[in-house]
Amino acid sequence: MKAAIVHGANDIRLEEVPQPVPEPGDIVVRVRASGICATDVKTLLGQGLPKDLPIILGHEVAGEVSSLGKGVEGFEVGDRVAVYPIAVCGECDYCLGDRHNLCRHEFGLAHGIDGGFAEYVRIPRQIINIGGVVKLPPELPFELAALAEPLSCGLAALRVNKVKQGDTVVIVGAGPMGTIHLLLAKWRGAKVFIIEQKVSRQEFAKNLGADAVIDPHSQDPLEAVMKLTGGDGAEVVITSLSDPQVIEDSLPLVKKGGVFNIFGGPPAGHKIRIDPRLLHYREITITGSFASTPGDFREAVYLIGSQEIDAARLITDRFSLDNMLEAVERARSLEMIKGIVLMG
């Protein structure tokens, strides 16, 4: 089969490799669509590069079941599915507490095993056993089903942040995940302000329904947010960017009693400074949100399939596996919001 193989930082090659074979309890999926995540781009740049190389990236996968391992029940060859990418033990305290994303023994697609930038991908039994392979309605396009994974991460953040109708939510960064947070917060009934410096992304956020867009080059974000909120700040602030300085500078945007969510994964070894008076006198909650649970993933598939969330509005670029290198470069340049690799 054809696959995009990562050999090291800035080194991805299109190669022919053996098609995976399912082990007992596994399935193999013929990939029809695979989303390009910011994590993929960071990995290619050498940030968090896997120890075991070469590897196939891609963890936002939708396709058709092509073969079944011994003992697999509930699936048939040809089933249309979306795949939750985290394989877990199912037995640790986090798994038993329905926090599978924090499993002590987790691994997954593009993280320990090959991912979905290939014509076929093996899905281990640990994903199947937690309901992580979700059947799709016949009318749901594969390219939209591939958005279930990033949407599920946004749903996890929405849950952690307890966003409710009437809240004001500030989202720092209008990239792929920032715009997902925007759609979900509007779906929940919140007022949403975006802080974004790139003009094309400012326009994209406006078209998605942002109530205000703040350009940090021409406005002081703190002054702008305070003016928009009558001096109170926002109930929820989500930093979709991973820059530690941006995270630090965004903390004062939170209202008394509000929630500050570090969503974008900061680089290792960096620190932020926090004024403890903000925490003590304003009772701010600082939290993180990483990945999602299988329940979040199943809800994401439902929201996309039912069109409660118009996920199609997020897709700006489509590529074939043959022009995977072009896809990576376009993602690296920040010229696209959400790119999907489509396979015939």
- pLDDT tens digits for range 216-263: 999 999 999 999 999 999 999 999 999 999 999 999 999 999 999 999
Q: Is the pLDDT of residue 309 over 90?
A: yes
Q: Binning pLDDT at 50, 70 and 90, where does residue 80 land?
A: very high
Of 185-189, 256-260, 262-266, 332-336, least confident by mean pLDDT is: 332-336
Mean pLDDT of 173-186: 97
Residue of 161, 165, 130 lying closest to 239 (CA atoms) = 161
- Residue, of 48 and 308, whose pLDDT is higher: 308
Residue 46 pLDDT level (bands cut at 50, 70, 90): low
What separation in angstroms does the CA of 136 have from each of 65, 69, 145, 306? 12, 21, 8, 11
Domains and CATH numbers, the chain: 2-146+310-342 (3.90.180.10), 153-288 (3.40.50.720)
What share of the chain in percent tops pLDDT 70?
99
- Quick one: DSSP state of residue 267? P
> Average per-residue pLDDT in the chain?
94
Worst-scoring range by mean pLDDT, 115-129, 143-157, 288-302, 318-332? 318-332
Rounded to an integer, the average pLDDT of 111-137 is 96
pLDDT of residue 221: 98
Give yes or no for residue 282 having a pLDDT over 70: yes
**pTM > 0.85:** yes
Task: Enumerate the H helices of the chain as residue ranges.
Answer: 38-44, 93-96, 125-128, 142-145, 148-161, 176-188, 199-207, 221-228, 244-250, 276-282, 294-305, 324-332
How high is the pLDDT of residue 52? 80
pLDDT band at 29 (very low <50, low <70, confident <90, very high): very high
- Indicate the pLDDT class of residue 212, thresholds 50, 70 and 90: very high
DSSP β-bridge partners for residue 229 = none
pLDDT of res. 328 = 81
pLDDT one-digit tens code per residue, 135-177: 999 999 999 999 999 999 999 999 999 999 999 999 999 999 9
Cβ-count burial 263-280 (b if 16+ within 10 Å, e if not): bbebeeeeeeeeeeebee
Q: Pick from 61, 17, 10, 57: which is nearest to 35 by CA?
A: 61
Residues 6 or more apart whose Cβ sits within 8 Å of residue 32: 62, 63, 64, 142, 342, 343
* Cα–Cα distance measured from residue 206 to residue 208, given in angstroms and rounded to the nearest whole number: 5
Average pLDDT over residues 50-74: 94
Give the start-end residues of each E strand in 36-79: 55-56, 60-68
